[in-house]
Structure 1
Amino acid sequence: MTHTTIHTLPASDTAPAEDPFRYGWRFVPRPTPDNPHYLEQVPLTLEDVLHPETGDFIAHSDRHETDRMYLTAVLRARLEEAGVAIVLSDVRIAWDIPDLRPHGPDVMVIPGIRERQDWSTFEVAVEGARPALIIEITSPETRENDLERKVEHYARAGVAQYVIVDDAGKGRGKRRLRLLDYRLEAGMYRLHPSDAAGRVHLAIADVWLGVEGDHVVCYDDHGVAFGDYATVVRQAADAEERARLEAQAREAEAQARAAAEAQARREAERAQREAQAREAEAQARAAAEERARLEAQAREAEAQARAAAEERARLEAQAREAEAQARAAAEAQARREAQARAAAEAQARRESQARAEVEARLRALEEELRRLRGEG
């Protein structure tokens, strides 16, 4: 899986200098109030092309792409079937060098790994392997990156051989290709001269790379070309198309699987919500029944309390009535006793008066008797 989508241009086309999208573009999330998923198309800079991000759209010419596919097909046939190395094309690579940002080589050959995977970014630190060969095919708009900055960067990254297929025609009419062959020596690149036929040796593949007209060709040690260029390119294009369709099929399958899983999750969530709703309804019903039971108990308790209060009031009334009757009886008794005392006192007074009268009469008789006796 490539990290970029390549927009091909006719070989004779040169994007105008004022075209902000001449290097390519990327889509950047720019949420708006109306569309939280809005993606803004942002033009790439030369620095962005040097250090691409996953998903960048980088513009290349048709001949650039046919050369890339041809080199990829020849090197894969030469190396991958024998298990010598894998060949990646237009895959972003993240280095294990501090401060060295990722690149997106046209073609890179990586020994030590027997099987290609669906990388969008090949991480050197994770995979434990680095390219032994990188091939870049220049484009007029971005050749400065390939001819200058990548020479320094790939040397720092420890890439043993860096070959540049340079279009010195600068985009004016027919391509004029030349080959630049950099070899790593003592941590620095040294430019090796081509052989008498203008070819360079790709050491890891034991293949000679040359130029015929406006395209590149690979040869064996006997100078025999590896396949017809048009046939190889067509086969490579067919292989890339098959890979693209397979990737689309996998993506469609993944999307279908994701959609099915999402549907299953939605159904499970709906079932869970329905179960929760039923549970909540049952709980609400149980709570309502419990509330009704408690209210009935409260009413019963209130009725019992009211009955108890009424009984208490009745008993208190009876007690007050009994108390009133007792008090009335006590008062009547007290009145009778007072009357009896009064009567007794009156009787006592009468008896006292009677005694006093009797005693007075007796004294009078005694006085009369003494007088009669002459004792007076």
Structure 2
Amino acid sequence: MDEFTYGRRQVVTYDHTGQPHYQYRPLTPEDFLDPQEGDAFFHGQRHDQVVQALTRALRWHYRFHPSTIVLQGVKIRWADRSLPGPAPDLAVVLKGSEPRRPRTFFDVQQEGAHPRFVLEVTSPRLAHLDREAKREIYARAGVEEYFLVDWDDPGAEPRLVGYRLAHGAYVPLAPDVQGRLVSQVLHLALQAQPGETGVAWVDLRTGRPITPEPGWTDSPAEAQAEAHARARSIADSLSSFLAGGDHA
């Protein structure tokens, strides 16, 4: 088996002259449940494409919601510090602040809000942890809904699995008549569909898949820079207007 089957962590040491030396150590399945910043897990190209597509669609859907935060691969620090802090593929916080601020971790205590929805996309090497260990962590942390996009067979459609919290434990969700998993938290549905990602969000109001406009960016850093640029432009226009008024 490859030494770096699950992923790698960079380790920096310093010699007697103060010069840094960089090495990598292999990650274990246990690291997957409580990663450190900078850990690189090897999930595979399809996993990454699906996660990116689902995250982008959700950020597009909530782009005008000032308190909804959509996190991708961000480590969670729970209010209960005894719980391991995974970095879910996708997590949604509905009553947060600064949704477009880049984060390397999300601290529930500091933010005063917690993820109400989590989704994981399985990869062959780590799927058992998504199905069991992470499910237990999210239930204990009080995450109301947990969805899985689970591939048992790489050549088949994904299996959509959902759970909703009831009395401190997850209860499996049954698909609706159209085979979709309906999220009461998000008021959206997750459905399998043909194509590279094999899955899509559906807006229950329209019945249509959520599709971002071409060219739209979901990067928090880019969005923040764009917002600052707009603010500067407005400020400059106002200053120009006031300056013109002074000379009138």
**1:164 aligned to which of 148, 154, 157:** 148
> What does the per-residue CA deviation read over 1:327-360, in whole Å, with 9 as the maximum and x for residues that have no partner?
xxxxxxxxxxxxxxxxxxxxxxxxxxxxxxxxxx
Structure with more relative contact order (C-alpha pairs < 8 Å, separation 6 or more): 2
- 1:222-241 aligned within 5 A: 222-227=206-211, 232=212, 235=215, 239-240=218-219
Structure 1, unaligned runs of 5 or more: 1-17, 247-376
Task: Give the C-alpha shift of residue 218 in structure 1.
Answer: 1.4
Residue of 73, 77, 80 corresponding to 1:90: 73
| 1:103 aligns with one of 76, 86, 102 | 86
Q: How far 1:239 sits from its partner (Å)?
A: 4.0
Letter of the 2:14 counterpart:
P
Correspondence for 1:190 = 171
After TM superposition, the structure 1 stretch with the greater mean CA deviation from structure 2, 81-90 or 102-111, is 81-90
Residue in 2 aligned with 1:206? 187
Q: TM-score when scaled to structure 1?
A: 0.54
Shift in alpha-carbon separation, 1:243–1:21, aligned structure 2, 3 A: farther
The 2-side partners of 1:51 and 1:121 are apart by 12
Shift of 1:194: 1.0
Secondary structure of 1:65's aligned partner: helix
User: Which residue of structure 2 lines up, in the alignment, with residue 61 of structure 1?
Assistant: 44
Separation in 1 of the partners of 2:10 and 2:97? 34
- Percent identity reads 32
The change in CA–CA distance for 1:233 and 1:81 in structure 2 (over 3 A counts) is closer
- 1:60 counterpart SS class: coil
Gaps of 5+ in 2: 226-248
Mapped partners of 1:96, 1:208: distance in 2: 29
1:119 aligns with 2:100: no
**Map of 1:319-338 to 2, 5 A cutoff?**
none
1:133-148 superposed matches below 5 A: 133-148=117-132
In 1, distance between residues paired with 2:29 and 2:17?
A: 33
Aligned mates of 2:32, 2:213 — CA distance in 1: 25
**In 2, Cα distance between equivalents of 1:106 and 1:189:** 19
Contact preservation (8 Å) 2:7, 2:40: yes
- Measured on the aligned residues, the alpha-carbon RMSD in Å equals 2.3
Say if 1:79 and 1:205, in contact at 8 Å, map to a contact too.
no
Which has more radius of gyration? 1
User: Higher helix fraction: Structure 1 or Structure 2?
Assistant: 1
Match of 1:78 among 56, 61, 74: 61
Q: 1:168: how far off?
A: 1.1
CA distance in 2, matches of 1:97, 1:33: 40
Distance 1:198 1:235, change over 3 A: farther
Q: Structure 1 pair 226/141, CA: closer, same or farther in 2 (3 Å)?
A: same
Cα distance, 1:138 vs. partner?
Answer: 0.5
Aligned residue for 1:42? 25
Q: Give the letter aligned to residue 91 of structure 1.
A: V
C-alpha distance after superposition, 1:196-230 (max 9, x if no partner): 22211122321111011351111122432222xxx
Q: Is the 8 A contact 2:102 2:220 kept in 1?
A: no
SS of corresponding position for 1:64: helix
Q: Secondary structure at the match of 1:205?
A: coil
1:38-97 CA-to-partner distances (Å, cap 9, x unmatched) read 121111101112211001111122221221122112222222413351111111111111
CA pair 99-242 structure 1, distance change in 2 beyond 3 A: closer
- Shifted more, 157-166 versus 75-84: the winner is 75-84
**Which residue pairs with 1:354 in the alignment?**
none
With normalisation by structure 2, the TM-score equals 0.81
Q: Quick check: 1:155–1:188 contact (8 Å CA) kept in 2? A: yes
Q: Which structure has the highest strand share of the two? A: 2
Query: How many aligned residue pairs are there?
Result: 220
Shift of 1:34: 6.9
